[in-house]
Amino acid sequence: MSASFEFNKVAAAVLTAGIVAMGAGFVGRGLVKPHTPEKNVIGIEAAEGTQTAAAAAEPAAAAIEPIGPLLASADPKAGEAIAKRCTACHTFDKGGANRVGPNLWGIVGAKHGHAEGFAYSDALKGMSAKPWDYEEISHFIANPKAYAPGTKMAFAGLRKAEERANLIAYLRSLADSPVPLP
Ligand code: HEC
């Protein structure tokens, strides 16, 4: 009798412990639950927010990374291949003709609208006090219409910084004495 009583006590204790443990589990999950999804929601929102901001900023000139640091390791030969996309409108040789676009010999360091006898848009004429330094050329080539609204250069733009660096390294080589690298 006393053994069975003892057994009941133990069973009750085990049961109680189980209920307490379950209760703790519920309470525990109850406490954790509202936090976990909250964190996830914030995390997802933050990631989406960043993406949206980056996408929205993409056409803006401000989003274009500096080209200077890429020029030291840029490849003018690869740039010459990319320049084939420009030859429909531009010549690159010394004394070459203006076509749809102006001749580009010696363009790095030259003033905006540098070619004699070429009918530039008001957009580029308005910038004629500024030289084409590396960053200016990079911004223009990345997105001509964003850089010079109203430009006549009907070219969508080279978005990849590495391609622009190679191309600009090639443009730099088109001079009697190339401008020093930055
Ligand atoms: C569809 C024709 C076309 C293509 C393709 C084109 N351009 Fe042009 N480019 C022009 C025209 C037109 C102008 C004059 C823009 C103006 O007056 O607004 C110009 C102007 C420029 C200028 C300014 C020259 C100056 O004297 O100030 C640079 C630099 C230039 N282009 C580089 C390039 C490069 C590099 C490429 C190839 C990645 C390229 N362009 C592709 C038509 C083109």
pLDDT digits (tens, 9 = 90+) for 125-164: 999 999 999 999 999 999 999 999 999 999 999 999 999 9
The per-residue pLDDT for range 81-96, each reduced to its tens digit, is 999 999 999 999 999 9
Q: Quick one: tokens of 120?
A: 């530039």
Residue closest to 166 by CA, chosen among 85, 94, 22, 67:
67
Instruction: Return the best residue to mutate from 85, 89, 137 for the ligand 1 pocket (most ligand atoms within 8 A of CB).
Output: 89
CB within 8 Å of 68: residues ≥ 6 apart: 134, 135, 182
Each residue's pLDDT tens digit, 102-132:
999 999 999 999 999 999 999 999 999 999 9
Global pTM reads: 0.73
Any atom of ligand 1 within 6 Å of the Cβ of 106: no
Judge if the beta carbon of residue 79 lies within 6 A of ligand 1. Answer: no
